[in-house]
């Protein structure tokens, strides 16, 4: 199985459009595949993929402190040592604000009455959807106010890999999160190839540079896709030169195309909504170039 991760360095470059298009193009060419959405802070790949939810489960990747009020002697030591202001007084009782608590356990250590327990909590949710197009989509979602996005990403990928192994899939296509932090690092972990989607703007140029530095650090081969290449030709030329300088493969360019917007409004991938559109034709060529690059070891 080949694991392909699509990242961007920043949001709004068209990463999910590329990921959804790759999934449909792969299926149309006879590949068996599983798709994963690891943008756990704001997953939206399922908006472009219609299907039926077949499984949903919560995941626990962190711990929080809980006070047993019956055992608490109201000494206040827990509040005195908490560096996150997670403990506050409520009348004669002390309570813990779950959104502030980091689960460090210091309050448990200083409690003279053994009234505090550190316990796992639900941080996120993993949903498995059977797409109408015949592939499985695994989506992760971080619950509001929770931390641990990188760990949730790892859980999503583990589930996607398990399902891919069950069906002996040819491809695992991963829609990664924006940015270059821990969630993005977790998304590219173990990947065979990384596709970086950028656009000809200064912000995107800056952020893709950070993302590619992370990818190169882990020694993963990568290619670059320039979306809306025709809105700023001079910057597009700079991105092409940059790709050569950092040792990446220019997989292709996608023109600005209103059909992409119309497709999203209709909750569909552009290659399904308007297969003859300029963007769809470009995406088909890019996918072919990607497979050829991977097969050639590039």
Residues 253 and 188 occupy one common structural domain: yes
Dist. CA 127–CA 46, nearest whole Å: 10
pTM comes to: 0.92
Give yes or no for a contact between 134 and 71, defined as CB atoms under 8 angstroms apart. Answer: no
Residues 79 and 221 occupy one common structural domain: no
The pLDDT of residue 147: 85
Residue 104: give the domain boundaries.
62-121
Give the residue from 121, 143, 158 where a domain finishes.
121
> Each residue's pLDDT tens digit in the chain (298 positions)?
999 999 998 889 999 999 999 999 999 999 999 999 999 999 999 999 989 999 999 999 999 999 999 999 999 999 999 999 999 999 989 999 998 999 999 999 999 999 999 999 999 999 999 999 999 999 999 998 888 999 999 999 999 999 999 999 999 999 999 999 999 999 999 999 999 999 999 999 999 999 999 999 999 999 999 999 999 999 999 999 999 999 999 999 999 999 999 999 999 999 999 999 999 999 999 999 999 999 998 7
Residues 54 and 76 occupy one common structural domain: no
Dist. CA 155–CA 215, nearest whole Å: 20
Residues 142 and 67 occupy one common structural domain: no
Q: What is the DSSP string of 10-33?
A: STTSSHHHHHHHHHHHHHHTT--E
Residues 128 and 140 occupy one common structural domain: yes
CATH number of the domain encompassing residue 108: 3.30.70.20
Residues 237 and 154 occupy one common structural domain: yes
Residues 163 and 68 occupy one common structural domain: no
Give the residue from 72, 95, 121 where a domain finishes.
121
Give the residue from 83, 106, 121 where a domain finishes.
121
The pLDDT of residue 246: 96
Pairing between strand 222-227 and 193-198? Answer: parallel
Dist. CA 44–CA 126, nearest whole Å: 13
Residues 89 and 162 occupy one common structural domain: no
Domain count along the chain: 2
Dist. CA 106–CA 111, nearest whole Å: 9
Residues 83 and 201 occupy one common structural domain: no
H/E element, 117: strand 116-121
The pLDDT of residue 297: 84
Helices (runs of H) and strands (runs of E) counted in the chain: 10, 13
């Amino acid at each position: 199985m080949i694991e392909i991760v699509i990242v961007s360095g920043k949001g709004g470059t068209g990463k999910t459009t590329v990921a959804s298009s790759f999934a449909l193009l792969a299926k149309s060419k006879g590949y068996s595949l599983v798709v994963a959405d690891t943008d756990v802070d704001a997953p939206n790949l399922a908006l472009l993929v219609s299907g039926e939810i077949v499984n949903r489960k919560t995941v626990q990747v962190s711990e929080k402190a809980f006070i047993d009020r019956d055992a608490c002697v109201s000494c206040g030591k827990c509040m005195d040592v908490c560096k996150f202001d997670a403990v506050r007084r409520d009348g004669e009782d002390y309570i813990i604000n779950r959104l502030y608590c980091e689960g460090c356990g210091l309050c448990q250590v200083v409690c003279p009455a053994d009234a505090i327990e550190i316990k796992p909590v639900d941080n996120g949710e993993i949903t498995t959807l059977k797409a109408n197009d015949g592939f499985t989509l695994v989506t992760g979602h971080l619950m509001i106010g929770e931390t641990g996005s990188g760990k949730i990403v790892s859980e999503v990928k583990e589930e996607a890999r398990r399902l891919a192994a069950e069906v002996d899939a040819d491809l695992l296509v991963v829609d990664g999160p924006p940015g270059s932090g821990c969630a993005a690092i977790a998304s590219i972990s173990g990947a065979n190839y990384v596709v970086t989607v950028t656009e000809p703007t200064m912000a995107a140029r800056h952020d893709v540079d950070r993302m590619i530095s992370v990818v190169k650090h882990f020694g993963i081969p990568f290619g670059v896709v320039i979306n809306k290449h025709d809105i700023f030709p001079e910057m597009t030329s700079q991105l092409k030169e940059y790709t050569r300088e950092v040792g990446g493969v220019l997989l292709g360019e996608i023109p600005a195309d209103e059909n992409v917007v119309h497709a999203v409004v209709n909750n569909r991938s552009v290659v399904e909504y308007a297969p003859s559109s300029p963007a769809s034709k470009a995406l088909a060529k890019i996918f072919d170039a990607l497979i050829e690059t991977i097969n050639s070891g590039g």
